[in-house]
A and B are shown apart, each in its own frame.
Chain A
């Protein structure tokens, strides 16, 4: 693995410098947002806050937790993430395990039936109309039911399951274990890394999804946190536009007055949206690198 020649020193220095710069470019924007969110809103209006709060305050967070719709959105997000991930990964693992059984009649056809949906789809509008006809739109189930299965995750799970030591499974079968028992007490416990990876991907997908909340749901009490954040952004853009039109030129001072305190709230919301990710990430990231490089679509 180590292929280091006595590569010239300045190249190594340049290399590290570039990598450190990239890391800073990733971390500093978050630091900036964190600093604003932890700064008093009125003081933040003066500008000049970089990466450290000037007037420490947790008022923005208190405000976030006071907003009924944001708290409700947090609940919706947590609900769909937990339920969607547990049920979804369980069902996908079951299907993937069945697809590793080589003697299963129709296995090739079923695999293609699933795989083809990755190549072609009905598109946005027919999909929406189907959700509508199923009466899923404007219910909390529109977040969970249509996202239960993901083709790429099924294929990753299948590849991983097919690499399990077959002798163990076969021994259990000969001992008279039912297939469901084999699945639950042999296949799943032996596949923790891939299950952790797929769970992470699924959970992140749920947590980050704003699209369903924006286009499939009207009831404001059913909107997840990501959708509420997206609505904040849209309102802000609309507001800037109104000011631009009414004053002929951009009336920045006016714009700042209207939006900046809302701005601090928005920054606190961004941090609240990111916190679960940042907490879970270090524990799970050791798995996912292996998870995505191992999986190939073909067997």
Chain B
């Protein structure tokens, strides 16, 4: 509905603009001259993306070249597919790919229902002020850096002095577990902290979709004798199904990236085997290890796979749901 208003507004403005600029009579160059001030406004923007996005894209040739400090990005010798072979012949690569997919599976699939449920719960709070307060609290962690979040976790989960261990000790337990160092707890902790940080913020968009559902639908369902849960099942969920599906499909493009900050900051010697993902491996070999060509090659594979996934997914959304990214 909102789109339609926007659309109308745009259409109207276009007509008026065309009246003013009389585009039909002007030649291409006259048009450009008339708009020169807008090109001035856009110039720094274009320069920025040329330098900081397209130049590095050109730098992807490093995946097939030897990097030398004298020769720079483009000057080295060609090495063919050497780096790709190196990556796939290393048995640890499979582990890194697995770890990455586990983390993104947790975030995309298992975590998905939580913000939806929270939005449904917010919708049931009748007092506007109370709901607003709870919502504000729930958004807060989204604005906190992962550095702080992992710092909080280290403290809460520390052996002996940490809050959780003290509670365990108070109930007669051991109380000396080093939770952050436990390999088996890495994924659960990644999952819980991910939900903790994002659930409130992610619920905003679902909440907006729920509020947009026509009250008449609920009234009709109520007249038909539907209780609260049945109303949620038969009215609310179908009402936000499109939002859920589109957001979910769009997030599939990220399946090969695990979220660098959280994973990198939660890594420690105790969980090294399960916590190395493609993102952190690229930083470790490239930025920290100086194997520029090798890390670029891995980044290239990740980037291309992500691009292909996004394109496929966009095809599906535009065909099935009439909504697409571009």
Question: Which of A2-10, A59-67, A188-196 forms contacts with chain B?
Answer: A2-10
- A103-B35, A124-B283, A149-B48 known; A166-B196 Cβ under 8 A: no
A115, B163: Cβ atoms under 8 Å?
Answer: no
Given contacts A122-B58, A126-B57, contact A32 B204 (CB under 8 A): no
Bound-state CA distance A169–B39 (Å) is: 19
The reply to whether B140 and A105 contact each other, CB–CB distance below 8 Å, is no
For window 204-249 of B, CB contacts with A under 8 Å fall at 204-205, 208, 211, 213, 215, 218-219, 222, 227-229, 231
A91 within 8 A of B: yes
| Contact of A294 with B by CB under 8 A | yes
Contact: B138 with A123, CB < 8 Å? Answer: no
Given contacts A229-B151, A252-B159, contact A122 B9 (CB under 8 A): no
A269 to chain B, nearest CB (A): 8
A180 to B37, CA, bound (A): 8
Binary interface encoding of chain B residues 15-28 relative to chain A, with 1 for a CB under 8 A from any of its CBs, else 0: 01110110100001
B positions within 8 Å CB-CB of A: 2-3, 6-7, 9-10, 12-14, 16-18, 20-21, 23, 28, 31-32, 35, 37-39, 41-42, 44-46, 48-49, 51-60, 62, 67, 72-73, 118, 121-126, 134, 136-141, 143-148, 150-152, 154-156, 159-161, 163, 166, 176, 178, 181, 196, 199-200, 204-205, 208, 211, 213, 215, 218-219, 222, 227-229, 231, 260-261, 265, 268-269, 282-283, 286-288, 292, 295-296, 299-300, 302-304, 306-307, 310, 324-326
Q: Residue on B with the closest CB to A167?
A: B16
Return chain A residues, CB-CB under 8 Å to B134: 19-20, 22-23
Residues of A within 8 A of B300 (CB): 123
Bound together, the chains give a CA A285 to CA B138 distance in angstroms of 12
Contact between chains at A124 and B138 (CB < 8 Å): no
Question: Assuming the A-B contacts A103-B18, A113-B46, are A281 and B324 also in contact, with contact meaning beta carbons closer than 8 angstroms in the complex?
Answer: no
List the B side residues contacting A7 at CB < 8 Å.
124, 227-228
With most chain B CB atoms within 10 A of its CB, the pick from A103, A117, A128, A250 is: A103
A102 and B14 alpha carbons, distance in the complex (Å): 6
Complex contact A36–B155 (CB within 8 A): yes
CA–CA, A128 and B283, complex, Å: 10
CB <8 Å contact, A250 and B296: no
Interface centre among A3, A23, A127, A294 (most CB of B within 10 A): A3
A221 contacts the other chain (CB 8 A) = no
Contact B56 A241, beta carbon cutoff 8 Å: no
Query: In the complex, which residues 213-228 of chain A have their Cβ closer than 8 Å to any Cβ of chain B?
Result: 215, 226
> What does the 1/0 interface line of A106-137 toward B look like (CB < 8 Å)?
00001011110101111111111110011000
Contact of B325 with A297 in the complex, beta carbons under 8 Å = yes
Pairwise interchain contact A129-B227, C-beta atoms closer than 8 A? no
A residues near B178, Cβ cutoff 8 Å: 240, 250
Alpha-carbon distance A199/B303, docked complex (angstroms): 29
Q: Which residues of B contact A255 (CB under 8 A)?
A: 159
A130-B55 in contact (CB<8A): yes
Give the number of chain A interface residues (Cβ < 8 Å).
116
Contacts beyond the supplied A122-B60, A277-B143: 11 A-B pairs with Cβ under 8 Å: A1-B211, A4-B124, A48-B166, A123-B299, A127-B56, A154-B45, A170-B17, A211-B260, A270-B151, A277-B144, A298-B325
Inter-chain contacts of A197 with B (CB < 8 A):
none
B2 near A294 (CB under 8 angstroms)?
yes
Contacts of B28 in A (CB 8 A): 105
Q: Is the CB of B303 within 8 A of A130?
A: no
Provide a sorted-by-A list of 8 A–B residue pairs whose CB atoms are within 8 angstroms.
Answer: A22-B118, A102-B14, A103-B35, A126-B296, A178-B37, A204-B143, A215-B283, A232-B151
Query: A111 → chain B, closest Cβ, in Å?
Result: 9
Q: Give 9 nearest A-B pairs by CB, closest first.
A: A122-B56, A126-B59, A123-B299, A208-B145, A7-B228, A95-B45, A3-B218, A166-B13, A117-B53
Which listed residue, B126, B222, B287, touches A125 by the CB 8 Å rule? B287
| A260 within 8 Å of B (CB atoms) | yes
> In the complex, A115→B51 CA distance in Å?
15
In the bound complex, CA of A207 to CA of B126 (Å): 36
User: Which chain A residues numbered 119 to 167 have a C-beta less than 8 Å away from chain B?
Assistant: 119-130, 133-134, 146, 148-149, 154, 159, 162-163, 166-167
B160 touches A252 (CB 8 A): yes
Pick the contact of A33: B52, B56, B155, B287 (CB < 8 A): B155
Which of B39, B53, B205 has the most C-beta atoms of chain A within 10 angstroms of its own C-beta? B53
User: Quick one: given A120-B57, A122-B53, A256-B160, are A23 and B137 in contact (CB under 8 Å)?
Assistant: yes
Specify which chain A residues have a CB less than 8 angstroms from the CB of B54 in the assembled complex. Answer: 117
How distant is A140 from chain B, measured CB to nearest CB, in Å?
A: 17
Closest CB of chain B to A204's CB: distance in Å? 5
| Residue in A closest to B34 when the chains form the complex, CB atoms | A103
B31 / chain A contacts, CB cutoff of 8 Å: 103, 105
For B200, what are the chain A residues with a Cβ–Cβ distance below 8 Å? 26
**When the two chains form their complex, are residues B9 and A162 in contact, meaning their CB atoms are under 8 A apart?**
yes
With A19-B134, A229-B147, A273-B148 as given contacts, are A2 and B126 in contact (CB-CB < 8 Å)?
yes
Task: Give the docked Cα–Cα distance between A164 and B74 (Å).
Answer: 46
- Which positions 74-100 of chain A face chain B at CB distance < 8 Å? 91-92, 94-95, 97-99
List, in ascending order, chain A residues with CB within 8 A of B141's CB. Answer: 26
The reply to whether B302 and A123 form a contact with Cβ atoms under 8 Å apart is yes
- Looking at B41, B46, B137, B196, which has the most chain A CB atoms within 10 Å of its CB? B41
A176 to B289, CA, bound (A): 59
Instruction: State the CA gap A170–B138 with chains docked (Å).
Output: 42
Q: A19–B125 contact, CB under 8 A?
A: yes
